[in-house]
């Protein structure tokens, strides 16, 4: 892509400098004159000073550290510059064309509905009564069981499994190997309990690779619009994940747990059955939530508590320990 196109995307200009053709985006340490690179935080100052990049997308505070030969682009919105730059190069890259339609090796039940413009890759399976919306993409070897509903533009990764009772909204992404609607972890003296509910997933939800979202026991498990769920996450039966919530890798939600709108759970955090993480709360990595957390707070530890309170207590304990002979 041309440097001028990148400048336009970032809301800045070349300020009279000659336009350059860029072969791609690279790290500061790896970039050559044909590359663009980014330096958007002070920790990149040392690498910025010795980079060979032809163009640098740079935060205003680092402008003086850009080598004289490099073209500096100072974005209008530095906080958005990473996403804007990555998307600009992704859109400029050549994309292989993929034919829509059903691959000859895929198995589609006669009672399934695959909309015009959808794509079903090799060895995929679509069961009776399933509905695949326009421009949806079912990846290689994916399984879509009977009655599943997949919204327009949703992408199902290779080898993902969508069990009966799943309703996926539009423009969702389901990563490779994910399992949606599996039977939850519920047993009694008679053995494993039947799970009669399903999973309802809103629009624009991202679900990472090898994540499992269990069906409800009675009623459905719910994932709200715009939620972001990382790889290797476990969402138990009848859990509720609110709109725009973020679950980082290896998070576990027990059955009936609730994560409200805009909340964020760091990696390996766990939420006990029936516990609630309030709207826009932030839970640190490896924290254990055993009770209701108020909206908007920052929490850490096990059991999870307000982060500042925990840090103050740890500091006091450290001082006590240091005074011991």
Catalytic residues: 237
Q: Is 278 helix (H, G, I), strand (E, B) or coil?
A: coil
Beta-strand runs (E) in 224-313: 228-229, 234-235, 240-241, 246-247, 252-253, 258-259, 264-265, 270-271, 276-277, 282-283, 288-289, 298-300, 305-306
| Nearest Cα to Cα of residue 222 among 183, 256, 249 | 256
Tokens 């809301």 correspond to what residue?
11
- Residue 219 half-sphere exposure toward CB, CA atoms < 13 A: 8
Evaluate whether 212 touches 230 at the Cβ level (below 8 Å): no
Q: DSSP assignment, residue 18? A: P
Is residue 156 within a helix (H) or strand (E), and if so which, with residue range? Answer: strand 155-156
Evaluate whether 245 touches 227 at the Cβ level (below 8 Å): yes
Q: Which residues pair with 235 in a beta bridge?
A: 213, 253
Is residue 198 within a helix (H) or strand (E), and if so which, with residue range? Answer: none
């Amino acid at each position: 892509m041309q440097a001028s196109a990148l400048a336009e995307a970032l809301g800045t200009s070349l300020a009279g400098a000659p336009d350059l053709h860029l072969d791609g985006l690279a790290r500061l340490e790896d970039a050559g004159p044909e590359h663009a690179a980014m330096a958007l935080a002070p920790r990149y100052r040392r690498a910025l000073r010795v980079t060979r990049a032809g163009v640098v997308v740079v935060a205003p505070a680092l402008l003086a550290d850009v080598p004289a030969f490099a073209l500096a682009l100072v974005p209008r919105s530095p906080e958005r510059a990473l996403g804007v730059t990555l998307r600009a190069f992704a859109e400029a890259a050549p994309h292989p064309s993929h034919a829509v339609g059903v691959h000859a090796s895929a198995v589609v039940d006669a009672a399934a509905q695959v909309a015009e413009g959808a794509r079903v890759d090799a060895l995929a399976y679509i069961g009776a009564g399933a509905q695949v919306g326009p421009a949806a993409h079912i990846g290689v070897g994916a399984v879509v069981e009977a009655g599943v509903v997949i919204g327009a533009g949703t992408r199902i990764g290779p080898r993902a499994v969508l069990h009966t009772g799943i309703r996926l909204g539009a423009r969702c992404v389901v990563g490779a190997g994910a399992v949606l609607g599996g039977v939850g972890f519920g047993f009694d003296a008679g053995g494993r309990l039947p799970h009669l509910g399903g999973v309802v997933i809103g629009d624009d939800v991202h679900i990472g690779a090898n994540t499992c979202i269990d069906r409800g026991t009675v009623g459905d498990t719910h994932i709200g619009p715009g939620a972001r769920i990382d790889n290797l996450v476990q969402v138990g039966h009848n859990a509720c994940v609110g709109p725009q919530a973020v679950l980082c890798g290896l998070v576990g939600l027990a059955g009936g747990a609730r994560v409200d709108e805009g909340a964020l759970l760091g990696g390996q955090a766990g939420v006990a059955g029936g516990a609630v993480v309030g709207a826009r709360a932030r839970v640190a990595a490896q924290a254990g939530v055993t009770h209701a957390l108020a909206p908007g707070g920052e929490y850490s530890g096990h059991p999870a508590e307000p982060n500042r309170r925990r840090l103050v207590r740890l500091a006091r304990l450290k001082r006590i320990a240091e005074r011991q002979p």
